[in-house]
Chains A and B, each alone.
Chain A
């Protein structure tokens, strides 16, 4: 079977199947999440898809009241803020994601290093132009 191209669309396609997929360099073995077509480490352009376990820990975070439109449309606002963070997955790479299941009312209780598991939520697309924002799709999140 021909490999899917190492694109954002392919990564998002896997998210629809609730799979967290990245790329592995066939030359140096480095892992990339999100997937990369050219290895940033050894510059080789041979990659293969690899599934990540979805287990990770929180590396940095914030709690946001005024978010981008897809978050506002999902019901988030100053009275109902959400957590966004950077997650270091157990295989090594880091990725950005909404963080669910944490105490957004008391952000000081959210701890860097806390264990997280990948989860998937549907919301509108991230686009400045409204016409492009209509498509709903599955997005990566992590849950405490």
Chain B
């Protein structure tokens, strides 16, 4: 990887997918340290989950290639729900590894804010097994909420354990200028208090952010036990990575980041899995990635994992082998282990929870954070006090029917 960039994440009413993608592409171009010619990009891989539904637009791969000026290069749109852009990146990796290409761009884009909450809920639920899970009334917050009830029953996990993940990721994302909600939970709480004072309504008297999060008037249930602050927001955004063949990397930068492990697996719908408290496809993808990279979980310095819901991070950090499944993983955020200054910083970007989750762009946006952190260019949220030599991303498609885990290395 010699370049990586992303658009600002948030509600972006005045732009469509192709323009969001171009914003990310330009940010990527600016990140390439030495000169490169756009004409050398031999193919474009664009992850996108649902432009058909949110934007009434198919075939956006070619539209994006046109927009950024690399037509007539081949352009592919790749769809695997929320893992679309990690899968797109893997296809780009294979294009280079096959010897067919020397340079490709890969990323993703998603414009989600066009539909009402009801229809966005439907569009996202299209990623479930609609004939059986959709038919049962499951939504995405509902599917992950079911994993949460199974986790609570099996391991004694509490809702407060889940909320600690949200508090941690918001404290990270508050430092990210491109995040959808760059605020700490405490900041949100203080904003609510200020608003009540301004309106002259009764001023809430919360002792701390946990008490605020446990107030259903301000943090309502979405799909029990998932509350609003357990769920990632609906976000518009895009991200893009520039990949080149290993032997060419130093022509473009003195500090390329190498992808040394890549795993991908498919999985069953939730009711068919042997376990409801882990995502089997993620475990398999992680094993593949570790094996290819020849490293172990203890070697990883930082990670971006798929925290679409708070319980998802609790399961993710166990599925990739950082912590034991159950209480150890559930308490990791509360005990500070996954904090930016903890033993295993997780989601220093703010994660999907705070940074936002434009579904088809999320996987590549996770990689943008890793690229910046490994090159020491993450600004205010740069992890300090440790040398980041190895990093990992964990990206889930739908509720675990696709999983991609990759490992990155910075060489001296």
CB nearest neighbor in B for A72:
B118
Contact A62 B270 (CB under 8 A): no
Q: Is B207 interfacial (CB-CB < 8 Å)?
A: no
CB nearest neighbor in A for B146:
A60
Given contacts A95-B132, A96-B270, contact A62 B150 (CB under 8 A): no
Determine the distance from Cα of A17 to Cα of B121 in the docked complex, in whole angstroms: 31
Query: Contacts of B226 on A, CB cut-off 8 Å?
Result: 62
Q: Is A59 interfacial (CB-CB < 8 Å)?
A: yes
Contact A59 B276 (CB under 8 A): yes
Determine the distance from Cα of A120 to Cα of B93 in the docked complex, in whole angstroms: 48
Contact A126 B150 (CB under 8 A): no
Residues of A within 8 A of B (CB-CB), count: 36
Contact A67 B139 (CB under 8 A): yes
B-facing residues in A55-89 (Cβ within 8 Å): 59-72, 76, 78, 81-82, 84-86
Query: Contacts of A60 on B, CB cut-off 8 Å?
Result: 146-147, 149-150, 153, 270, 276
- Nearest chain B CB to A93's CB is how many angstroms away? 8
- Nearest chain A CB to B233's CB is how many angstroms away? 14
Contact A96 B221 (CB under 8 A): no
Contact B125 A68 (CB under 8 A): yes
Determine the distance from Cα of A69 to Cα of B53 in the docked complex, in whole angstroms: 15
Interface size class of B (residues with CB under 8 A): 35 or more
Q: Is B386 interfacial (CB-CB < 8 Å)?
A: no
Q: Is A6 interfacial (CB-CB < 8 Å)?
A: no
Given contacts A62-B142, A66-B222, A67-B121, contact A82 B136 (CB under 8 A): no
Given contacts A98-B136, A112-B150, A128-B53, contact A64 B270 (CB under 8 A): no
Determine the distance from Cα of A78 to Cα of B118 in the docked complex, in whole angstroms: 12
Q: Is B205 interfacial (CB-CB < 8 Å)?
A: no
Contact A86 B146 (CB under 8 A): yes
Q: Is A8 interfacial (CB-CB < 8 Å)?
A: yes
User: Which of A78, A107, A126 touches B135 (beta carbons < 8 Å)?
Assistant: A126
Query: Contacts of B130 on A, CB cut-off 8 Å?
Result: 126
Contact B131 A8 (CB under 8 A): yes
User: Which of A78, A84, A107 touches B138 (beta carbons < 8 Å)?
Assistant: A84
Q: Is B134 interfacial (CB-CB < 8 Å)?
A: yes
Determine the distance from Cα of A83 to Cα of B126 in the docked complex, in whole angstroms: 19
- Nearest chain A CB to B62's CB is how many angstroms away? 24
Q: Is A13 interfacial (CB-CB < 8 Å)?
A: no
Determine the distance from Cα of A115 to Cα of B223 in the docked complex, in whole angstroms: 22
Contact B225 A85 (CB under 8 A): no
Contact B53 A34 (CB under 8 A): no
Query: Contacts of B117 on A, CB cut-off 8 Å?
Result: 66
Given contacts A64-B223, A65-B223, A69-B118, contact A94 B149 (CB under 8 A): no
CB nearest neighbor in B for A142:
B136
Determine the distance from Cα of A106 to Cα of B123 in the docked complex, in whole angstroms: 29
Name A's B-contacting residues (CB within 8 A): 8, 34, 40, 59-72, 76, 78, 81-82, 84-86, 94-98, 107, 112-113, 126, 128, 139-140
